[in-house]
């Protein structure tokens, strides 16, 4: 191709892109996120328990409580109307509750894993049980929130009807993921104490960014194309907003999680205790659905798959999602395949 | 709104009109037989017709794409003719009582005009690119904006190198030393820093000198008793300068060892020094100082590992593209090249990030950074002692109280739940017993 032709093509492409982008960006007034209708049905300090609005009867009689990770925010699960894990579950007939952990501040530096699992999750489970006058409800845990859900279900199996873990690490003794390798070497005491007991969200994000150091560059390189289409532009801006919204973590919880999980793998060994009570995963006897993402670089499949071997449930299923950690919530396949499969699994066991 | 294409057409029309008017004014009086009015007019008409023909039934964008070669030839024709015309005009204008036209003569040089217009296009596209970037930036969360700015800087920097890279691909220049003549180490380090979000340590020797300076100043506060410090500090500085003249990673490790050894040597001094707040502050500041030096050295070592990992990526990539070019005679576009470069660079860097050594080093740096903050905070607290501020330690007390209360409340809740369960179970038993008794009674009554 001659230089002149290449130049003219480049110019024309840029003119087209700029014209489309002008229109698209000017149309955007607000980068809204997590717009599914919901109400706060209970709160405890910074924690809020949401119940998502639904029209008509749920197909499953038993409601489902979602326990998200302490890393980043749950809004990923309702990124935008056409890419919403939560909306899709609701449309598939599931009654959804969700725990919003809030934004820890310095007063929370001594908040422990016990506070989260035995305190907050237990309180929320009880609230939902009382609201529906049920002995047992369904629990869905996401990533670290899934590890919490496993701990909780092992200690309170009488309150959980069905358990779903989504991209949840349980076997931390592997080197498939960089995060698992780095966490083993981390001087977590120095980090927690140095940060004054509250781990900044930016510190955590920097670690996640380094797992795929060029991802940001790729994302921004694609921006001219992204801007040609308003929907993709909005999706980009929403993701940016979600990534940027990274809460700090309570230092003591972080310290314990890194030490007991990443460094000593205590949960899988049956050595992990909460308030003196051993968390024995074999006490999990309810139906369990374990979902992992095939290309997950944050929680690789090898860290998730052993879950089903550790529980005593007779009804257990391992489901592979073709995508990455984030794709589980926002990808097209999540909408088309994963959420309908989860809803079906729950309805069948209702 | 006029775009750059309109401006090309406007400019062209202006030139055409000028030619027409000028020729009409000039030719009736000219002595040059070789330049009659009809010749100019005819020539101009031909030009116009060619131009119109090109534009006919075709969008300007398509014309630009479809006929760059014709445009070039046309521009050359115009230029040649213009030169002849201007020459003739110079000879005859005075005789005709005409001055030189009040226009920039470069505008009559079609080649230059085309260059100008291409420049305009470039300016326009650059402006539009800047505008697009600003518009996106304005919609981004504030804490993502630095990442995007960093990317923009990276992209613009690398784009500037695309032309030499293209020539290297075409001419088979991929030897590392040769590549570095165009894309030197500083350029490479800048790119890696931008991509990895590194804050470069820079010149380690200079940095340590400046830390030393601060260190000396702080030690000055300790008075005459600190005479030993000068000796140790001087020795330390000269050793550091010696060690870091090469700024290579193993030397950095060595430097770090020296740093730690010196810290240990200095500890006894503080143990015998007077007690009190000032001494505590000085101790903390000394620790901060040494930790900071370690932090610099280790960060520099870590960054060196990453720099080392990617240094052959560009030469290797240029070689691969050269080999493709030899077969296909087709050049990659800039975006494709950049994507490939980023992917290859990431693969190389990930090899380092996966290494045990890197993991340990990264952990040490995180711990050092955090400990510097902790010590600085403590020193600040001591400085501000007795001031009406809530210090970190005092805030910590509240947090501990809150944690203890949470635990007590949870314990009470659990006991209450157990009690309720127990009472509930008892009530059920009582109810069951009383039901059973009633049934029995009924049965009895029936009997």
The complex scores an ipTM of 0.89
**Based on the domain organization, do B70 and B214 belong to the same domain?**
no
Please report residues of A whose CB lies closer than 8 A to that of B392: 196
Of A141-150, A252-261, A338-347, B366-375, the range with the lowest mean pLDDT is: B366-375
Q: Which domain holds residue B85?
A: 4-123
* Residues 6 or more apart in contact with residue B209 via CB below 8 angstroms: B237, B241
Q: Do A213 and B147 touch (CB under 8 A)?
A: no
Per-residue pLDDT tens over the stretch A60-70:
999 999 999 99
| Structure tokens that stand for B107 in this block | 């505008």
**Based on the domain organization, do B377 and B265 belong to the same domain?**
yes
Query: Which of B365, B383, B401 is at the close of a domain?
Result: B383
Nearest CB to B353 within list A17, A192, A210:
A210
User: Residue B364 falls within a domain, yes or no?
Assistant: yes
Q: Which of A2, A8, A130 to mutate to test the interface with B (most CBs of B within 10 A)?
A: A8
User: Residue B198 falls within a domain, yes or no?
Assistant: no
Give the number of C-alpha atoms closer than 13 A to the C-alpha of residue A295, restricted to the C-beta side.
8
**Based on the domain organization, do B102 and B238 belong to the same domain?**
no
User: Residue B375 falls within a domain, yes or no?
Assistant: yes
pLDDT at site B238: 58
Of A146-150, A323-327, B127-131, B215-219, the range with the lowest mean pLDDT is: B215-219
Per-residue pLDDT tens over the stretch A181-226:
999 999 999 999 999 999 999 999 989 999 999 999 999 999 888 8
Q: Which residue has tokens 């213009």?
A: B82
Query: Which of B104, B123, B142 is at the close of a domain?
Result: B123
| Structure tokens that stand for B277 in this block | 């707040």
DSSP-derived pairing of the beta strands A273-274 and A78-80: unpaired
Nearest CB to A14 within list B128, B148, B360:
B128
More confident: A345 or B421: A345
Q: Which residue is catalytic, options A143, A204, A250, A342?
A: A143
Please report residues of B whose CB lies closer than 8 A to that of A202: 143
Helix spans in B244-276 (H): 249-272
Q: Are the CB atoms for B293 and B211 separated by under 8 Å?
A: yes
* Residues 6 or more apart in contact with residue B400 via CB below 8 angstroms: A110
**Once rounded to an integer, what is the mean pLDDT over residues A334-349?**
94
pLDDT at site B4: 45
String of DSSP letters for B391-426? -HHHHHHHHHHHHHHHHHHHHHHHHHHHHHHHHHHH
Which chain A residue's Cα is nearest to B331?
A1
Q: Do A15 and B395 touch (CB under 8 A)?
A: no
Q: Are the CB atoms for B124 and B4 separated by under 8 Å?
A: yes
Query: Which of B367, B383, B399 is at the close of a domain?
Result: B383
User: Residue B340 falls within a domain, yes or no?
Assistant: no
User: Residue B272 falls within a domain, yes or no?
Assistant: yes
User: Residue B135 falls within a domain, yes or no?
Assistant: no
**Based on the domain organization, do B116 and B227 belong to the same domain?**
no
Nearest CA among B391, B367, B389 for reference residue B379 = B391
What's the count of helices (H) and strands (E) in chain B, helices before strands? 17, 0
**Based on the domain organization, do B272 and B364 belong to the same domain?**
yes
Per-residue pLDDT tens over the stretch B197-235:
887 766 777 777 777 676 666 555 444 433 444 454 565
pLDDT in tens, chain B (447 residues): 454 445 555 555 555 555 555 555 544 444 444 444 444 555 555 556 665 665 555 555 555 555 555 556 555 655 555 555 555 555 555 554 444 444 444 444 545 555 555 555 556 556 667 777 888 898 999 989 999 999 999 999 998 898 889 989 988 888 888 888 888 888 898 888 888 888 776 677 777 777 767 666 655 544 443 344 445 456 556 555 655 565 555 556 666 666 666 666 666 655 555 566 667 777 887 788 888 888 888 888 888 899 999 999 999 999 999 999 999 988 898 999 999 999 999 999 999 999 999 999 999 999 998 998 888 888 778 777 666 677 888 888 899 999 999 999 988 988 898 898 888 877 777 777 766 554 444 433 333
For residue A143, indicate whether it is catalytic. Answer: yes
Q: Is the dihedral of CA A102, A209, A164, A115 positive or negative?
A: negative
pLDDT at site B68: 56
Q: CA-CA distances (angstroms) from residue B205 to A337, B254, B290, B312?
A: 58, 14, 15, 27
Q: Indicate the SS3 state at residue B332.
A: coil
Q: Do A252 and B403 touch (CB under 8 A)?
A: yes
Total of domains in chain B: 2
User: Residue B422 falls within a domain, yes or no?
Assistant: no
Please report residues of A whose CB lies closer than 8 A to that of B140: 237, 240, 244
**Based on the domain organization, do B271 and B364 belong to the same domain?**
yes
Nearest CA among A333, B220, B96 for reference residue A342 = A333
| B positions 46-65 inside 8 Å of A (CB) | 61, 64-65
**Once rounded to an integer, what is the mean pLDDT over residues A146-173?**
97
Give the torsion through C-alpha atoms of B232, B234, B238, B241, to 10 deg: 100
More confident: A249 or B113: A249
| Global pTM value | 0.77
User: Residue B320 falls within a domain, yes or no?
Assistant: no
pLDDT at site B393: 84
Q: CA-CA distances (angstroms) from residue A206 to A87, A169, B200?
A: 30, 20, 16
More confident: A10 or A262: A262
| CA gap A167, A144 in Å, rounded | 9
pLDDT bracket for residue A297 (50, 70, 90):
very high
The full set of domains in chain A, from first to last, is: 26-348 (3.40.50.1820)
């Amino acid at each position: 191709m001659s230089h002149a032709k290449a130049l003219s093509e480049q110019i024309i492409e840029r003119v087209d892109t700029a014209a489309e982008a002008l229109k698209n960006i000017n149309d955007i007034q607000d980068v809204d996120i997590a717009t599914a209708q919901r109400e706060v049905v209970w709160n405890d300090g910074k924690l809020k328990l949401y119940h998502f609005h639904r029209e008509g009867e749920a197909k499953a009689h038993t409601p489902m409580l979602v326990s998200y990770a302490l890393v980043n925010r749950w809004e990923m699960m309702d990124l935008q109307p056409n890419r919403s894990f939560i909306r899709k579950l609701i449309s598939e007939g599931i009654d959804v509750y969700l725990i919003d952990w809030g934004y820890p501040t310095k007063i929370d530096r001594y908040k422990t894993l016990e506070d989260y699992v035995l305190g907050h999750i237990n309180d929320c489970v009880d609230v939902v049980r009382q609201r529906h006058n049920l002995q047992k409800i369904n629990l869905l845990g996401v990533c670290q929130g899934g590890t919490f859900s496993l701990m909780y279900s092992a200690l309170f199996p009488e309150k959980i009807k069905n358990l779903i873990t989504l991209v949840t690490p349980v076997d931390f003794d592997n080197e498939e993921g960089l995060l698992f390798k780095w966490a083993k070497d981390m001087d977590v005491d120095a980090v927690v104490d140095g940060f004054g007991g509250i781990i900044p969200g930016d510190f955590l994000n920097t670690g996640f960014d380094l797992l795929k150091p060029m991802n940001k560059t790729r994302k921004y390189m694609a921006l001219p194309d992204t801007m040609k289409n308003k929907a993709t532009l909005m999706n980009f801006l929403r993701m940016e907003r979600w990534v940027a919204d990274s809460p700090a973590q309570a230092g003591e919880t972080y310290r314990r999680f890194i030490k007991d999980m990443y460094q000593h793998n205590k949960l899988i060994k049956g050595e992990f205790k909460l308030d003196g009570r051993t968390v024995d995963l074999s006490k999990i006897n309810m139906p369990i659905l374990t979902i992992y993402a095939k290309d997950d670089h944050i929680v690789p499949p090898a860290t998730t798959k052993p879950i089903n071997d550790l529980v005593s449930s007779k009804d257990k299923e391992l489901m592979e999602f073709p995508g990455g950690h984030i794709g589980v919530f926002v990808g097209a396949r999540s909408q088309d395949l994963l959420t309908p499969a989860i809803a079906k699994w729950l309805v069948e066991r209702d | 709104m006029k775009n750059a294409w309109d401006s090309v057409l406007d400019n062209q029309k202006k030139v055409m009109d000028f030619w027409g008017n000028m020729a009409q004014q000039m030719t009736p009086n000219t002595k040059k037989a070789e330049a009659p009015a009809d010749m100019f007019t005819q020539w101009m008409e031909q030009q116009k017709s060619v131009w119109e023909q090109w534009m006919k039934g075709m969008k300007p964008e398509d014309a630009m794409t479809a006929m760059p070669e014709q445009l070039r030839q046309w521009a050359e024709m115009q230029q040649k003719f213009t030169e002849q015309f201007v020459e003739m005009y110079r000879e005859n204008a005075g005789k005709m009582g005409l001055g030189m036209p009040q226009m920039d003569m470069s505008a009559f040089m079609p080649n230059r005009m085309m260059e100008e217009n291409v420049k305009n296009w470039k300016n326009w596209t650059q402006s539009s690119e800047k505008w697009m970037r600003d518009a996106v930036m304005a919609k981004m969360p504030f804490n993502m904006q630095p990442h995007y700015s960093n990317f923009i800087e990276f992209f613009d920097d690398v784009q500037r190198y695309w032309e030499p890279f293209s020539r290297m691909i075409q001419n088979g220049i991929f030897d590392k030393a040769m590549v570095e003549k165009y894309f030197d180490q500083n350029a490479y380090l800048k790119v890696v820093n931008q991509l990895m979000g590194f804050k470069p340590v820079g010149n380690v020797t200079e940095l340590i000198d400046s830390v030393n300076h601060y260190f000396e100043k702080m030690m000055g506060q300790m008075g005459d008793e600190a005479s030993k410090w000068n000796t140790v500090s001087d020795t330390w500085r000269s050793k550091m300068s010696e060690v870091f003249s090469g700024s290579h990673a193993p030397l950095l490790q060595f430097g770090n060892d020296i740093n730690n050894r010196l810290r240990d040597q200095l500890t006894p001094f503080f143990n015998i020094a007077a007690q009190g707040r000032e001494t505590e502050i000085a101790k903390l500041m000394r620790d901060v100082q040494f930790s900071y030096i370690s932090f610099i050295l280790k960060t520099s070592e870590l960054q060196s590992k990453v720099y080392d990992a990617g240094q052959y990526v560009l030469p290797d990539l240029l070689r691969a593209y050269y080999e493709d070019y030899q077969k296909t005679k087709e050049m990659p576009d800039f975006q494709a090249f950049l994507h490939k470069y980023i992917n290859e660079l990431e693969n190389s860097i990930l090899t380092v990030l996966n290494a045990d050594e890197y993991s340990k080093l990264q952990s040490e740096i995180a711990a050092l950074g955090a400990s510097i903050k902790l010590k600085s905070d403590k020193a600040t607290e001591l400085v501000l002692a007795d001031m009406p501020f809530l210090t970190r330690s005092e805030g910590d007390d509240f947090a501990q109280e809150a944690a203890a209360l949470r635990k007590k409340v949870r314990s009470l809740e659990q006991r209450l739940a157990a009690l309720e369960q127990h009472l509930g179970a008892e009530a059920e038993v009582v109810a069951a017993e009383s039901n059973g008794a009633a049934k029995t009674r009924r049965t009895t009554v029936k009997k």
